Amino acid sequence: MASGHANGSQSPQGRASMQRTTFREMVHQAFQGAIERAFPDLPNQQAVVAPTGNPKIADYQCNNAMIISGRLPQPPKEKPAPAENGQEKPKLSKAEQKKLKAAEQEARNKLQNKVAQQIIDALPESLPMIAGRPATAGGAFINMRVDTAWMGQVVQSMLVEGIDKWAPRLPHKRAVIDFSSPNVAKEMHVGHLRSTILGDTLARTLEYCGLEVVRLNHVGDWGTQFGMLIQYIAESRPGGINDTNIEHEDLGQLQALYKKSKERFDADPEFKERAKAAVGRLQGGDAECLQAWQRICKASRQAFQAVYDRLGVKLEERGESFYNPFLASLVEELAGQGIIEDSNGAKVVWVEGQENPLIVQKADGAFLYGTTDLAAIRHRLQTEKGDWLIYVTDLGQAGHFDLVFGSAKKAGFILPKDDPGHPRIDHVGFGLVLGADGKRIRTRSGGDNVRLSELLDEAKERCQTTIKDRREDIGEEELDMASSAMGYGAIKYADLKNHRTTNYKFDFDAMCDLKGNTAVYLLYAHARIASIVRKADRPEVSDGSLAKSASIDLEHPAEVALALHLIRFPEALEDMLEDLTPNRLTEYLYILSDKFNTFYTNCHVIGEAQEDSRLLLVQSVAVVMRQCFHLLGLTPLYRI
């Protein structure tokens, strides 16, 4: 498996220059040039080349002739004979009108076809990726088929050179992705799970594309609630503020502590005052308060880390507290720039087009969530030198990020569009996770909060049963490994396959289904493919020497369709990165396994004259599948 990623070992530019041009890009370039040569007087004609909906006609089509012919001087309309000296125009009969219309239509068709022909004639002589010459079927569309010999070579070169060469080229160098980001002393909820899964896939994909990726966990570890917690601990625990047992508390216990302290805070005005004083001491650097705060953070961190470990997600903790030292001077600076206004004693920044301002400091002097985000965006741009910032949170925070990005622009942290240092910044918003009944999600233990660890446990248990049913002889260790891979994979895939902005139902039955569009199905599909290669028992396949000696000859339509889908892998990734929607990748993967099934039903592999070629094709399917798994955070299985 190609899992070694050239992270850091090579400059992103170095990687990019090694990456191969996709079919789509090659054809696009050829047509762009042809259009410019054939119609030099029509500026800004973007070549439009896309896969066809109907593979019986062609693999790809170019439809520029339609647009271009509309912009050219039109052929004279067939006019009825002019009316004589002021008399009424003679009315046309229905039949005559019809004839006239048909004649006009024909003239249009002719022109469109002529334009299409002109584009074809202006294409370069040599188009190795296309079978024969692109041609029209008499109309405006230019049809083409991918050359099968060329396609076979591309697939084969992937086996020889590695799948890293198929990563899309991106203009960015360093991405900073803010994801997961749960809150200290609170249960990590399903929204945080969704952020973790989405963010990890985006991070993995950008890493694959050769970017340096900083994966930041912007945990909520600062704010007035800590004064409340610390004061409550000081007053209710046997050890008082110095109670070290806090450090070993699990999230459920911490959450209960949080709840009780909040109740007290709301009900008891004197406690409220003492809690406020504790915030002051904490911010002033009081050692006891700081230690109590650190114990709470440590306990939460351990619980979060346990989830990340199970999911195989890497994150660097850089919580809100990290930015605390920058807040006061930041607000001063903004005031100096004249972009701060007063609103009932609070300091705010207005952003054009937004109904409310971003509050950066309350009347009582406290800083807020948004102040921290403003300091954070500046740090990520100016210190981290990120040229692509990504924030993965629920859609409910979209308004907050509009304000943060707008304020950062106003403050000059985000350079304008025409500046070469202009960064790409995305808020990747997502919808809700609901229970299978469409209501709020619950776990078996019930209660107010879903424990993420319980969700993970249940998915794993269910997969354990599935695996045991099919392989009674499986050993303990392998069973544990496989059921983790399948169970956690099922949860991740069920999340990623939905468009991120939709609400989806967390449904164990659906996500663990062996036959649906699930990770379970796909992991088994991969294991089946791996078993074909095993059965062939040809060491030349696994050691890579067959890929250097034999060639992939695509003959059967199912082979051609499969290879065509394989070479579209980078295109699927480009599409996914355009609007940061991993469901485009899951869709790609699901179709890949479908095309493989059609191939395998129609084409025997072992013992056939085409064995070498087909084994290589099978092997490349497995490689691409594993790369998809890697990007989706799934661990491949090799045996059923």
The binding site for ligand ARG (CB under 6 A) comprises 178, 181-183, 218, 220, 373, 376, 391, 393
| CB nearer to ligand ARG: pick between 181 and 484 | 181
Tell me which amino acid residue 226 is. Answer: F
Which one, 182 or 210, has the nearer CB to ligand ARG?
A: 182
CB 423 within 8 A of CB 457: no
Sorted by sequence, the CB contacts under 8 Å of residue 118 that are 6+ apart come out as 38, 39
Closest distance between ligand ARG and the C-beta of residue 344, in Å?
A: 25
Q: Which CB atom, from 220 or from 636, has the smaller least distance to ligand ARG?
A: 220
Which candidate, 588, 581, 600, places its Cα nearest to that of 628?
A: 588
Distance in Å, CB of 19 to ligand ARG, minimum: 31
Tokens of 194: 């969704």
Q: Which is nearer to ligand ARG, 297 or 552 (CB)?
A: 297
**CA-wise closest residue to 338 among 326, 347, 327:** 347
The 3-class SS string of 219-276 reads: CECCCCHHHHHHHHHHHHCCCHHHCHHHHHCCHHHHHHHHHHHHHHHHHCHHHHHHHH
> Least distance (Å) from ligand ARG to the CB of residue 371?
11
User: Shortest gap between Cβ of 429 and ligand ARG (angstroms)?
Assistant: 11
Minimal distance, residue 115 CB to ligand ARG, in Å: 51
Q: Nearer Cβ to ligand ARG, position 61 or 393?
A: 393
182 or 636: CB nearest ligand ARG: 182
Q: Which is nearer to ligand ARG, 391 or 506 (CB)?
A: 391
Q: Which two tokens stand for residue 471?
A: 């392989």
* Shortest reach from residue 7's CB to ligand ARG, in Å: 24
Tabulate helix, strand, coil % of the chain (nearest 5): 55, 10, 35
The pair of three-digit structure tokens given for residue 355, joined into one six-digit string: 């109904």
Query: Minimum CB separation from ligand ARG for residue 372, in Å?
Result: 8
Q: How far is the CB of 426 from ligand ARG (least distance, A)?
A: 13
Q: What whole-number distance in Å separates Cα of residue 28 and Cα of residue 25?
A: 5
**Of the two residues 391 and 413, which places its CB atom closer to ligand ARG in the complex?**
391
Give whichever of 300 and 464 is closer to ligand ARG, judged by the CB atom.
300
Q: 101 and 181 in contact (C-beta within 8 Å)?
A: no
Q: Please, which residue, 134 or 220, has the CB nearer to ligand ARG?
A: 220
- The letter for the amino acid at 516 is G
Helices (H), 379-518: 398-410, 452-470, 476-496, 508-511
Nearest distance from residue 399's CB to ligand ARG, in Å?
A: 12
Q: Which two tokens stand for residue 619?
A: 């092997």
**Residue closest to ligand ARG when measured from CB atoms:** 181
Residue 633 sits at φ, ψ, to 5 deg, of 75, 25
Q: Strands of 212-217's sheet, edge to edge?
A: 316-317, 212-217, 174-178, 388-394, 424-430
239 backbone φψ class: left, alpha, beta (φ>0; ψ -120 to 50): alpha
Nearest-approach distance from CB 213 to ligand ARG, in angstroms: 16
Report the alpha-carbon distance of residue 573 to residue 338 in Å, rounded. 43
Other Cβ atoms within 10 Å of 414 Cβ, number: 21
Give me the least distance between CB of 510 and ligand ARG, in Å please: 27
Nearer to ligand ARG, 376 or 491 (CB): 376
3-state SS, residue 429: strand
